[in-house]
Amino acid sequence: MADNSFKVIENFSSDRNCFACGPDNPYGLRMEFKSDGRQVVSCLKVPGYLCGWNHVVHGGIVATICDEIMSWTAIHLLRRIILTRSMEINFRRPLPVDKTVKAVGRVKEQESPRSAVISARLYDQQEQLCAEAAGRFALFTPEAMRRMKILDENIIRDFERHFDQ
């Protein structure tokens, strides 16, 4: 039975070419997300051309999935534009390519209005924990991001429209 408490999260950005979540990137992961308001979840299959050895997902791709689930968790649960400050990852067991991977993100702590610690956990098809990460994220208002001039104005406007800011 499906859990109806999870709702699909729409990609708010008109920039649809992100390697991790962009639906228009032919070489990307094309991650999609759902949330129940407490956590963000993504299920995906990593294509075989992104393997390391022996049909195992490359560690850099595992780190990318962790970073992306944590980023979407911060954006959608804290309603801020974010940048990753740091990330620590522990690899528990190999993730096979071309099999379903489940990524789960949660807010561990909002340290201040401008900083949060987010966690990620990746599971294989048997629900075995394969990787876990914690990241510290810088949180920005649209106005702060405009002052810094490091994000395209169209993306900032997309964020404001999506979150009614």
Q: Which amino acid is at 135?
A: G
β-sheet bridge partners, residue 44: 101
d(CA 128, CA 123): 5
Q: Is the dihedral of CA 125, 129, 133, 139 positive or negative?
A: positive
Torsion sign, CA atoms 10, 14, 20, 24 = positive
CATH domain 7-163 topology:
Thiol Ester Dehydrase; Chain A (3.10.129)
Where are the chain's structural domains? Answer: 7-163
Which DSSP string corresponds to the chain? ---TT-EEEP---S----TTT-TT-TTS----EEE-SSEEEEEEE--GGGB-STTBB-HHHHHHHHHHHHHHHHHHHH--EEEEEEEEEEE-S--BTTSEEEEEEEEEEEEETTEEEEEEEEE-TT--EEEEEEEEEEEE-HHHHHHHT-S-HHHHHHHHHHHT-
State how far the alpha carbon of 67 is from the alpha carbons of 15, 54, 126, 129, 160, in Å. 18, 24, 22, 16, 22
Q: Is the pTM of this model over 0.75?
A: yes
The model's pLDDT over 111-162, given as tens digits with 9 standing for 90+, comes to: 999 999 999 999 999 999 999 999 999 999 999 999 999 999 999 999 999 9
Q: What is the pLDDT of residues 6-60, one digit of tens each?
A: 999 988 888 899 999 999 999 999 999 999 999 999 999 999 999 998 899 999 9
